[in-house]
A and B are shown apart, each in its own frame.
Chain A
Amino acid sequence: MEVQLLVTCLADQLAPEVGEATVDLLERLGHRVRFPEAQTCCGQPAFNDGFSAEAAALAARTVEIFSAPAPVVVPSGSCATMIRHFYPGLLERGPHGPAARALAARTFELSEFLVRVLGRTDVGAGWSGRVTYHDSCHLLRELGVRDEPRRLLAGVAGVELVEMAYPEHCCGFGGAFAVKFPEVSSAILDPKVESIIATGADAVVANDTGCLLQLAGGLRRRGSTIRTLHLAEILASQASR
């Protein structure tokens, strides 16, 4: 099948390996990946900050860029939520309304796409080590994706999954919140980092670059060597196969 990749601006600039891993994985599963090169940012930062007009402009742009009929795969629960839940309302009154609804219907977060659309939980990956999974808030509570990433991790040869305390508790990132309320954001991060460290995991896995930057920032500040990995990176890996 042909799929379109929306890589997200955060991953593009700060974690391109997430995009590469997503492409590698999808290609390995026999799909053709298109990457519309006009893509930039989905508009979520403006939207979450209350700048509806600016958000609507970027949303309209994204709807145009992803006008091809192929499903859109996003390695981020947050950006997938933006398109799925907020684009239709944001663009409802303009000329992009119908296209926004159609895009919302064919946009999927990566783990959701793999398990719910493709029906795959074993993607032939191998990665040896102990990992713990952090539930990204939008993925869990807006898209209702809890088991899919865990089932995919369970399907990776060599991975031992250990649950941290309160994996569903927020990491404190929240986009602009992280810098608007830096003390609060960091204070929320503290118990999360502690519970990650307490698992004795080699890596913490999440499905959102935003959360991963926050987690990495906190882990490194404490001198921890626990790696932060996007689920796509583990699933693309074939290290121990």
Chain B
Amino acid sequence: MAAIATRDFRARAAAAAGDTALHRKLDAASLRFLDKRARVFAALPDADARRDRARAVKAHAIATLDTLLPELERRFTANGGIVHWARDGAAACAIVLDIAARAGVRLVVKGKSMVSEEIGLNACLEAAGIEAVETDLGEYIVQLAGEPPSHIITPAIHLSQDDVAALFTARLGEPLHSTAEALTAAARRLLRAKFRAAGMGVTGVNFASAESGTLVVVENEGNGRMALTLPRVHVALMGIEKLVARDEDFAPMLELLPRSATGQTLTSYVSLVTGPRRNDEIDGPEAVHLVLLDNGRTRLLADPIMREALYCLRCGACLNACPVYRRIGGHAYGYAYSGPIGAVIAPALLGIERVPDLPFASTLCGACRDVCPVRIDIPRLLLAWRARIAAAVPRAWGERLLVRGWRWIAWSPRLYRALTPIVRAGSALVARIPALARLAPPLAAWRRGRELPRAAPRSFHERWRDRRHGTDPDAP
């Protein structure tokens, strides 16, 4: 399994929040994608209606998953492919290992797949003595660095060109200070050899049509196309939510996915997989396998509130738009899926006990919902998780005391007003002796990066009474 560290979120987030070099790298990429996204959406006629349509396509597919999935299996099998069902990550890895063993595969080339990250496939392959090589440049970089991807779309977003140059020098013997072109060329050279030697290509799936059993893989580097055509065996990993009902549903999805992800009107490569090489074809794999992964997705499906999280296209726009993500990056989340959508699906896929903090790590600013191509109402889903977590996972006594205490104080206008002079006195005291803030954790926390506000000399309630009783010094 991939190392899941969602419980360490607080410490990791706090550390990343102080890493200004990381912030610069995250901003450079996220804001560029965000700006490009805004431009291409502004230029897209009826963009809002198209988003509604895309959402409707996904809503329909998710609502009828129980009939569409068997349909996909029938069609894909009729096309000459082989379908496997995996309840969880371990089962999916075992299936891939079994396919590799039967085909005598020693080397696997991989196109970009977040499902593969989710299930920790590389570690499984390596444990079985099978070399797995990432061929998407960003994925290749993080694999060389021994790190998980830190963004759904831009895996090496946390590394600068200098970082990559240093990494290539250390790991591949590339001369230092190489240009981006030279680094890419070096990766290409190495990966070519791997592509030629690999017995198996593993890719993700962006969309699959139940109507025809066709899989769609989008990418920009051609590495995905090569991974699914060159090796003898192609294994496509797919979360069960990637399904759409009909081929014609591909269009609205392909319209929005690249625009949302990178601000492109279309990716450089869109591959449609309709089965293994046919007799009259000169290339393509001998066998195509489709691994359909649940791994907690049916829990989302059974949850009427959270279900819409399954509409996600994994475009990464919500990460780019998220003020929290842009300060802490993907690694802080401790899970393959980071950012707003990660905080929504991690509690369902991993269980809330393992994800006590993620849904709280949001200002609920709503920027994610604004950019989501299928309009997933992420802030509402985060709020729903918060309520569930508050009910199920005991909170620190201090926090309970604060919230419950405030409920009773605010319940009673008298108590509330009686509190005013106390707040005022406390505030004045802390203003005079700032070290006292240490006694009140929330004040101390606030003071880390900001000056404390001062309570007003007279509250509005008091001023209102002054006004009414004619003691307002400003009154005419």
Please list the residues of chain A having a beta carbon within 8 angstroms of any beta carbon in chain B: 7, 9, 11-20, 23, 35, 37-41, 43, 45-52, 54, 57-58, 61, 137-138, 140-142, 166, 168-170, 172-175, 177-191, 213-214, 216-218, 220-221
Which applies to chain A's interface (DSSP): helix, strand, loop or mixed?
A: helix
- B436-469 CB contacts (< 8 Å) to partner A: 441-442, 445-446, 448-456, 458-465, 467
Q: Which residues of chain A have C-beta atoms less than 8 A from B462's C-beta? A: 16
Q: Are A185 and B449 in contact (CB under 8 A)?
A: yes
Known contacts A187-B17, A188-B327; A173/B363 CB under 8 A: yes
The CA of A20 and the CA of B467, in the complex, are separated in Å by 10
The CA of A169 and the CA of B325, in the complex, are separated in Å by 13
Q: Are A141 and B456 in contact (CB under 8 A)?
A: no
Q: Which residues of chain B have C-beta atoms less than 8 A from A46's C-beta? A: 403, 406-407
Shortest beta-carbon distance from A145 to chain B in Å: 13
Tell me which of B365, B390, B407, B455 contacts A13 (CB under 8 A).
Answer: B455
Q: Are A58 and B407 in contact (CB under 8 A)?
A: yes
The CA of A91 and the CA of B461, in the complex, are separated in Å by 27
B410 interfacial by beta-carbon distance below 8 Å: yes
Q: Are B390 and A187 in contact (CB under 8 A)?
A: no
The CA of A170 and the CA of B379, in the complex, are separated in Å by 14
Q: Are B365 and A183 in contact (CB under 8 A)?
A: no
Q: Are A181 and B13 in contact (CB under 8 A)?
A: yes
Please list the residues of chain B having a beta carbon within 8 angstroms of any beta carbon in chain A: 10, 13-14, 17-18, 23, 27, 31, 323-324, 326-328, 360-367, 369-370, 383, 385-391, 399, 403-404, 406-407, 409-413, 416, 420, 423, 441-442, 445-446, 448-456, 458-465, 467
Q: Which residues of chain A have C-beta atoms less than 8 A from B442's C-beta? A: 179
Q: Are A137 and B450 in contact (CB under 8 A)?
A: no
Q: Are B459 and A189 in contact (CB under 8 A)?
A: no
Q: Are B18 and A13 in contact (CB under 8 A)?
A: no
Shortest beta-carbon distance from B467 to chain A in Å: 8
Known contacts A48-B386, A61-B411, A141-B367; A188/B323 CB under 8 A: yes
The CA of A165 and the CA of B442, in the complex, are separated in Å by 30
Q: Are A180 and B13 in contact (CB under 8 A)?
A: no
Q: Which residues of chain B have C-beta atoms less than 8 A from A20's C-beta? A: 460, 463
Q: Are B445 and A179 in contact (CB under 8 A)?
A: yes
The CA of A229 and the CA of B203, in the complex, are separated in Å by 53
Q: Are A186 and B448 in contact (CB under 8 A)?
A: yes
Q: Are B453 and A14 in contact (CB under 8 A)?
A: yes
Shortest beta-carbon distance from B111 to chain A in Å: 33
The CA of A43 and the CA of B391, in the complex, are separated in Å by 17
The CA of A133 and the CA of B233, in the complex, are separated in Å by 58
Q: Are A13 and B459 in contact (CB under 8 A)?
A: yes
Known contacts A35-B464, A218-B450; A170/B445 CB under 8 A: no
Shortest beta-carbon distance from B11 to chain A in Å: 10
Q: Are A174 and B411 in contact (CB under 8 A)?
A: no
What are 12 A-to-B residue pairs whose CB atoms are below 8 Å?
A: A14-B453, A35-B464, A38-B413, A50-B386, A51-B387, A138-B366, A168-B367, A181-B10, A184-B327, A185-B363, A187-B328, A217-B451
Q: Are A180 and B451 in contact (CB under 8 A)?
A: no
Tell me which of A16, A45, A168, A182 contacts B459 (CB under 8 A).
Answer: A16
The CA of A168 and the CA of B416, in the complex, are separated in Å by 34
Most B CB contacts (10 A, CB to CB) among A48, A52, A187 go to A187
Q: Are B365 and A170 in contact (CB under 8 A)?
A: yes
Known contacts A46-B403, A181-B361; A37/B464 CB under 8 A: yes
The CA of A221 and the CA of B467, in the complex, are separated in Å by 34
Q: Are B363 and A177 in contact (CB under 8 A)?
A: yes
Tell me which of B450, B458, B461, B463 contacts A186 (CB under 8 A).
Answer: B450
Most A CB contacts (10 A, CB to CB) among B386, B388, B465 go to B386
Tell me which of A9, A16, A142 contacts B366 (CB under 8 A).
Answer: A142
Q: Which residues of chain A have C-beta atoms less than 8 A from B327's C-beta? A: 184, 187-188
Tell me which of B370, B387, B416, B458 contacts A141 (CB under 8 A).
Answer: B370
Closest chain B residue, CB of each to CB of A191: B27
The CA of A12 and the CA of B446, in the complex, are separated in Å by 20
**13 other contacts beyond A48-B383, A170-B367, with CB at 8 A cut-off?**
A9-B410, A9-B416, A13-B420, A40-B409, A47-B383, A50-B385, A58-B410, A141-B365, A170-B363, A178-B446, A181-B14, A187-B449, A218-B449
The CA of A182 and the CA of B10, in the complex, are separated in Å by 10
The CA of A138 and the CA of B383, in the complex, are separated in Å by 14
Q: Are A14 and B360 in contact (CB under 8 A)?
A: no
Q: Are A217 and B458 in contact (CB under 8 A)?
A: no
Known contacts A170-B365, A221-B450; A41/B406 CB under 8 A: yes
Shortest beta-carbon distance from A11 to chain B in Å: 6
Shortest beta-carbon distance from A229 to chain B in Å: 14
Shortest beta-carbon distance from A67 to chain B in Å: 15
The CA of A38 and the CA of B369, in the complex, are separated in Å by 36
The CA of A16 and the CA of B463, in the complex, are separated in Å by 8
Most B CB contacts (10 A, CB to CB) among A20, A35, A51 go to A51
Q: Which residues of chain A have C-beta atoms less than 8 A from B23's C-beta? A: 187, 190-191
Q: Are A141 and B366 in contact (CB under 8 A)?
A: yes
Q: Are B449 and A189 in contact (CB under 8 A)?
A: yes
By Cβ-Cβ distance, the 5 closest A-B pairs, closest first, are: A186-B449, A217-B450, A174-B363, A50-B390, A50-B386
Q: Are B363 and A188 in contact (CB under 8 A)?
A: yes
Q: Are A137 and B364 in contact (CB under 8 A)?
A: yes
Q: Which residues of chain A have C-beta atoms less than 8 A from B452's C-beta? A: 217
Q: Are A174 and B364 in contact (CB under 8 A)?
A: yes
Q: Are A183 and B390 in contact (CB under 8 A)?
A: no
Shortest beta-carbon distance from B16 to chain A in Å: 8
Closest chain B residue, CB of each to CB of A185: B449
Q: Which residues of chain B have C-beta atoms less than 8 A from A216's C-beta? A: 451, 453
The CA of A223 and the CA of B416, in the complex, are separated in Å by 34
Known contacts A13-B423, A184-B324, A214-B450; A137/B404 CB under 8 A: no
The CA of A39 and the CA of B460, in the complex, are separated in Å by 11
Known contacts A185-B449, A189-B449; A12/B365 CB under 8 A: no
Tell me which of B370, B407, B448, B450 contacts A57 (CB under 8 A).
Answer: B407
Closest chain B residue, CB of each to CB of A216: B453
